[in-house]
Chains A and B, each alone.
Chain A
Amino acid sequence: MSLELRGITKTFGALVANDSIDLKVETGEIHAILGENGAGKSTLMNIVYGLVAPDSGEILVDGVVKKISEPSDALASGIGMVHQHFMLVPVFTVAENIVLGHEKTGFAGRLDLNEARERIKKVSDQFNFDVNPDDLIEGLPVGVQQRVEIIRALIYDAKVLILDEPTAVLTPQETDDLLKIMQELKAQGTSIIFITHKLREVKAVADRITIIRRGKVVGNASPSASQSELASLMVGREVELAPDRGAHDVGAEVLVVKDLSILDITGRALVNKVSFSVRAGEVLAIAGVQGNGQSEVARAMVNLEEHVKGSITLNGEEIVGKSVRESLHAGIAFVPESRELDGLIGSMSIAENLILDLHDLAPYAKGIQLFPNVVLDEAAKRRDEFDIRLQNVTDPISSLSGGNKQKVVLARELSRPVKLLVASQPTRGLDVGSIEFVHKRILEERDAGRAVLLFSTELDEVLALADRIAVMYRGEILSIVPSGVSAQELGLLMAGVVHA
């Protein structure tokens, strides 16, 4: 089945989200739509799926104009969509989720799942999904939950499958599995629209690439184009994908972590006797698949974890047992894993977010008197230094894009005297331009002689920034390897495979 969009335009107030977009997806092809966050990819797909009504333009399925004003119209036309955030009920089984809204009932309204079970098994076997219809959703890994979403679309006869940022939530292994599944689907005749901003994945599976920037199609590319060509098209300027890591001197040990164990409330060890050290002017990356204890180690660096054993010293000074505030003021900059939850206060202003840590110290305050004007002046300074794109420093932080939010976090954390920068997933969810900025800034800190402890699940990021790489697996450090390691080798280590 082919899908064609002609002149799709959608505006939200003054913002033109889609500006007369033309797009054609042929039968059995993987068509990647590449663009930065906010380029209009999701709006376009929501239009195709009937979630958003376009101002103008038409949608053609197999050459026939279709009116799609609701998701049910899209499904009836053979268009299925897997959203970035899954639409599954966690406490239901796979089969229950899939029949939801189309339940078949037997005698006296009894739910009949047998037919659904059969069909799930059939689809699962056909594409090697390895999904059991009776498993509870909440017990399944994210990658499998995503396959459930794909099965749902296929069972309702989707011939064109829209995948909205499908790899954003996946581990490297799960990503590889998904890419294989996509190729299998394509081989059996399903067309796929693959929305993403990750260049490597596009090059790996796409047949054709359409690049969208600021609501407009700015070009088409074949997968043979280089990553930097694609990135420049996407961002609209030259982009440095692998930041320049100049020669530099490594100094004395700044951070020494010894036999660090972190327990949960029940006393189970989330992190088990981890030891490592970071020198001045060095980036130590702690790599690993999400959920292997890295988040806890990161939080323990500033005493955000409660049940901690072992020792963390900063220039010889013990950190464990101090308050969060004391840890920060001892010279640790902390970029938390979740900007939205732990890094920023969404309803407070940009200026206020910039001084969360220092709000009660001079020059912002004297005694308990706060000086809002000083806060504003300082915010303006930081805005310039960190190139934070904003309209007004008094606007709420939630009005900023992800990249600019992260710049606010960095600006705040790096404004104290810093000996150690702890950055946890610093580029998660950011677009190429912002990733470039964050990476440069992290390396600048390293070159200025600070110790950097980077936690990342992104192989590319680890390889681009780290001087040494420690791989965490199930709460322990499997091994610490030099930066020259290959991506393949690192991927295996992250999966828990150690060389004999």
Chain B
Amino acid sequence: MRKLTVKRPSLRALTLPGLAFLLAMFFGALLIAFSDSTVLKHIGHPISFIKAAGVAVWQSYLALFEGSVYNPSLATPHDALLSWYPLSETLVTAAPLMLAGLSVALAFRAGLFNIGAQGQFIFGSIAASYVGFHFHWPIGIHLIAAVIAAVIAGAIWGGLVGLLKARTGAHEVIVTIMLNYVALYFLMWLLGTTTFLRPGRRDPISPDVLNSAKMPLLAGSNYRVNLGIFVALAAAAFVWWLLTRSTWGFRFRAVGANSAAAKTAGISVPFVMTSVMAISGALAGLGGAVHVLGSDFSLTSGTAGNFGFDAITVALLGRAKPMGVVFASLLFGALRAGGGTMQANTNTPIDIVLVIQALVVLFIAAPSVVKWVFRLKNVKTTGELAAKGWNG
């Protein structure tokens, strides 16, 4: 068999993100211990302090796990499988995040820093929602139409950025940040219009999408997990194919790595910028669709949550590779899903999860810290990825 151009993701590639995560969990543990009032009572007695700290950390991380993967106390005599309910929640959160993360990762590979996944996500949500509640179409067709509408809306919102960059040289970071605001305020304005305001409500919330436009549930009505996670995984496979097995991806990577050489070899850099941003926007828009049609069903001003921004973190953690993004978004989905349970069951606030997320990124951006702590040599670093993109 001949050797393929694309090397299989090796374990070595996972070393650094994995260790960065461990280190972040360690600092998270310190924070949990020192912010817990019952632990701090023992501060004068080292032994009982360490004991109390260990208990607090163990309980918090156990709650995090029980909130994101498996919680035996949820099982009922009729249905033992219900203890897996948290895993379903993890997948529900991970699906839109994965799509938005793929959006950022794809743009990264073409040398563009797409901060605008949030805005593209919002436009995807708006389009999916509108098609979902306004039209009465048969099952199947309705869902597909809503998804396509979201993809187109995201592609336009993203493609606009590429076009501006290609035609005028406007830096994509600035343009996307501004367009995020435009998208958010457009959404808030829309929610005040009669078309989008839910009948009988005065607060800004849209009608639920019709059942015919909802993503089919995968594990019955007890669980929210839906087709969205498969849509996201299929998108990851598509992005992998695009980057490694298509002429478009070849051009994206060429322009991303050295646009001057790509231009000299006859590749049209403006066309690449526009098309990659359009595809990137389409992925984020699809994320919006999965979120609205899969779990939220209605639009509010907070519909997009933090998906578009967490997507940047996810792309970074996943080294801008499709497989990496899949794992990173599952991890972040789990942290998000488990954070709530942790807050409810222990003294540890959900903010710890945000700290852990932030630390993971920090350690990946500063790989020498991780290498120093774990005495590593010759591990590939992703530091350049974190630093790239700002020099336009």
Contacts and interface: CB of A to CB of B under 8 A. Distances in A.
Interface string B244-271: 1111111101100110111111111000
A352 B5 contact: yes
Contact of B251 (A328, A346, A359, A412): A359
B265 A357 contact: yes
Contacts of A347: 257-258
**Interface SS, A side:** mixed
B212 to A, nearest CB: 33
B244 A372 contact: yes
Nearest to B246: A368
A76 interface: no
A304 B5 contact: no
B4 interface: yes
B3 interface: yes
A325 interface: yes
Interface string A293-330: 00000000010100000000000000000011101110
Contact of B3 (A328, A352, A356, A376): A376
B281 to A, nearest CB: 19
Interface in B160-210: none
A357 B266 contact: yes
A382 B111 CA distance: 29
A351 interface: yes
Contact of B264 (A323, A324, A370): A324
A323 B265 contact: no
Interface in B41-65: none
Contacts of A394: 3, 5, 7
A110 B113 CA distance: 44
Nearest to A344: B261
B11 interface: no
Contact of B5 (A327, A349, A360): A349
Contacts of B265: 324, 328, 356-357, 412
A435 interface: no
Contacts of A352: 5, 250, 254
Contacts of A368: 246-248
Contact of A343 (B3, B249, B261): B261
> Chain A CB within 10 Å — which of B250, B251, B261, B262 has the most?
B261
A344 B264 CA distance: 9
Nearest to A364: B247
Nearest to B7: A394
Contacts of B387: none
B320 to A, nearest CB: 12
Nearest to B384: A347
A369 to B, nearest CB: 6
Contacts of B7: 394
B373 interface: no
A173 to B, nearest CB: 30
A370 B246 contact: yes
Contact of B250 (A304, A327, A334, A359): A359
Contacts of A365: 247
A393 to B, nearest CB: 9
Nearest to B6: A372
B2 interface: yes
Nearest to B265: A356
A323 B268 CA distance: 9
A472 to B, nearest CB: 21
A-B pairs, top 9 by smallest CB distance, nearest first, are A325-B266, A356-B265, A360-B247, A372-B5, A345-B258, A342-B264, A357-B265, A345-B257, A347-B257
